[in-house]
Homo-oligomer: A and B are copies of this chain.
Amino acid sequence: MAVPIILIVALIAGVISIVMAYYFSRLVLKEDPGNERMVEVAGYIEKGATTYLKIQYKILGIFVGVLFIILILFLPTEMTAGNIPILSGDLNWEQGLAYLIGAIGSMLAGWLGMYVGVKANTRAAQGCTIGTKKGFDIAFFGGSVMGLAVVGVALIGVSTLYWIFQNPLIVLGFSFGASSIALFMKCGGGIYTKTADVGADLVGKAEYNLPEDDPRNPATIADNVGDNVGDIAGMGSDLFDSYVASIVAAMILAAALVAGDLSGSFIIYPIVLSGVGLIASLIGIFFIKWKGSEDPGKSLNLGTYFSTLIFAGLGALFAFLMMLDPLLDPSYHAKIWLDYFAVLLGLASGLIIGFTSDYFTRDDKKPTRNMAHAAQEGHAVVILSGLSYGLISVVPPAIGISFAMAFAFILDGFLGVAMAAVGMLAIVGTIVSNDAYGPIVDNARAIAEQGELGDDIIRTADRLDSAGNTAKAITKGFAIGAANLTVLALLFSFAEEAGITIIDLLDVKVLIGGFIGVVVPALFSALLIRAVQRNAAKMVDEIRRQFESNPKILTGEEAADFSKTIDIATRGSIRELVAPSIISIVIPLVVGILFGVAALGAFLAGAILSGFVFAVMMSNAGGAWDNAKKWIEDGNLGGKGTEIHKASITGDTVGDPFKDTAGPSINTLLVVMSLTASIFMGFLLLFSGGAGLLAFLI
């Protein structure tokens, strides 16, 4: 069976993306890394980051290997009951291989992005000595490497696998591989970065009044490493995972629509459209590079809007071209256009979520201002204010997602919803680039401080840094919205695969499934918050120990022992991610085995809905606390060192694991649980034909 040649668009876009990533990385690497001290600090950061990745990847290797064996031996690609590969002798090599490739691809993209990220930081700091433009360019190119690598690897993987196997379920294996890595990278990175950050703040800032990034603080380097492993590698693998999953969900739903006739162009529309999105992202990246130096913060956001616009235009053009494709059955012409409009809905809802996050976290808007004023009433009131604004901020994006879902469904049923997700994620190249820019400039600022480049240069780096924070609100909103639409699409494709046409809440089994689903994101967040808290406590002890055992560290005469703090963050983050990751695979399976696949569907729905509430709440509350603190530090309400400032630091510290550990990890949790449900379907159908072990009772 021949594959429509139009698929080559996606493949070519993917290859261009990798080439550009390579080109940008060359541009970054040839820049001046700065003075000796800067190179030294950057070296520490690089070493810390690679050490972490090495340990992480070693454990991931075992995990991936075990799942690979389970896949090929026990889980059939075709999800009918009883066809256990090891019994039938027909091992599930193809999906297993796709799984391996997905996992390796995700690790590769993460490693590449981080490698360039840790090279770009010191160069961006040095660039700031030449000017804002130079500093911005280096940092942004560094970030783009991550963005382009993620999208390039994903698109090449998806299109090649489909080209070879012509089976969306094989691509599902690829997606599962990417997700299982993402879960570890996101949780582990999130725990790492906040262990270091919270630890550094609690002792360094609160007890010893050291400024941010002060080289005397033993956790400074670990904090910088954390930005890389959490915000670059973690965020990258998270979006990689949503990106692939949205494409796969759309393909599975499209395959159901064409009733298994995979010869036409309709089924590869999601892939190729994503290729078009990548081209739009590239244009957006060049736009940002062109405009970037003038007002960095605004440019990053403008670039996102510009990519969106270009994508909308190119998408329409491409839909028009599809009309000329002889391999597209004319009966699908209308659908291509309906799906195109669904894509626009996805983009629109992404923007709504982004705007909401922006509004609720910007220091010139009411919520963050009120939160800062709440600091005047003390620590507790800052917390109450942040929590309540965080919860309220869930409402607009929930309405946005509901509208997008409803209208996308009106346009083209479940496939419409999946296409809305594809649309939202199509410009992920730009999103990840903007996002990875953040930690690079954050590190650059730290290196400028430690390399003693002087106040002027630090101020320049500061400007670049605050631009990163502005962009972060929108990119986070996008990530949450995209993940949410994606998992909704996965829920529908799961039901499609399981042959479930009804998930009835008046069936008590199903209701219990939904109940467990609603509880899981709460439990998962709690475990991650506890992980950060416990690990940060160890960090606090270590920092206090260093200051007390060697008073010369505080006077700056002797260097702090960075390796100890890095070690605590590394070991702790890896140890603590075991429980949450087990949850995400074991609980869906237990629900499916006991209560059946319909209950598992309700479980997923419950987890998606409550996960959305927790993710948005935590991410917005965390962002607002952070900015309220910064606003006070800018000299408002008395400025630094006051009791009001201390109360705002409490808010920020509570917000840290909210916004950078638990909140964003929920996205990945949802994707992994949804994919687990689909991948293990053949296995679940063994239990009373998918009705669950307890079917005879309830």
* Chain A interface (Cβ < 8 Å from any Cβ of B): 198, 202, 206, 374, 377-381, 383-385, 387-392, 394-395, 398, 401-402, 405-406, 409-410, 417, 488, 492, 495, 500-506, 508-509, 511-512, 514-516, 518-519, 522-523, 525-527, 529-530, 532-533, 536-537, 540, 601-602, 605-606, 609-610, 612-613, 617, 647, 649-654, 657, 694, 697-698
Across the interface, A492 reaches (CB within 8 A) one of B377, B506, B601, namely B506
Please tell me if the beta carbons of B379 and A519 are within 8 angstroms of each other in the complex: no
Q: What B residues does A384 contact at CB under 8 A?
A: 529-530, 532-533, 653-654, 657
Smallest Cβ-Cβ distance to A509: which chain B residue: B406
Please tell me if the beta carbons of A697 and B410 are within 8 angstroms of each other in the complex: yes
Smallest Cβ-Cβ distance to A393: which chain B residue: B526
Please tell me if the beta carbons of B380 and A653 are within 8 angstroms of each other in the complex: yes
A388→B532 CA distance, assembly (Å): 11
Q: What B residues does A198 contact at CB under 8 A?
A: 380
Please tell me if the beta carbons of B381 and A533 are within 8 angstroms of each other in the complex: yes
Q: What B residues does A391 contact at CB under 8 A?
A: 522-523, 525-526, 529
A601→B510 CA distance, assembly (Å): 14
Beyond A505-B503, A698-B406, whether A395 also contacts B605 by CB under 8 A is no
A202→B530 CA distance, assembly (Å): 27
A605→B609 CA distance, assembly (Å): 12
A478→B656 CA distance, assembly (Å): 35
Smallest Cβ-Cβ distance to A649: which chain B residue: B380
Across the interface, A381 reaches (CB within 8 A) one of B202, B385, B697, namely B202
Q: What B residues does A398 contact at CB under 8 A?
A: 515-516, 519
Q: What B residues does A654 contact at CB under 8 A?
A: 380, 383-384, 387
- Top 6 A-B pairs, shortest CB-CB distance: A380-B653, A391-B526, A503-B505, A518-B609, A388-B526, A388-B529
Beyond A381-B536, A388-B526, whether A506 also contacts B502 by CB under 8 A is yes
A409→B502 CA distance, assembly (Å): 20
Please tell me if the beta carbons of B515 and A395 are within 8 angstroms of each other in the complex: no
A503→B392 CA distance, assembly (Å): 28
Q: 18 other contacts beyond A381-B653, A405-B512, A606-B609, with CB at 8 A cut-off? A: A202-B377, A202-B380, A206-B378, A377-B537, A380-B649, A380-B651, A381-B533, A383-B650, A384-B532, A384-B657, A402-B516, A405-B508, A406-B698, A503-B506, A514-B605, A518-B609, A518-B612, A650-B650
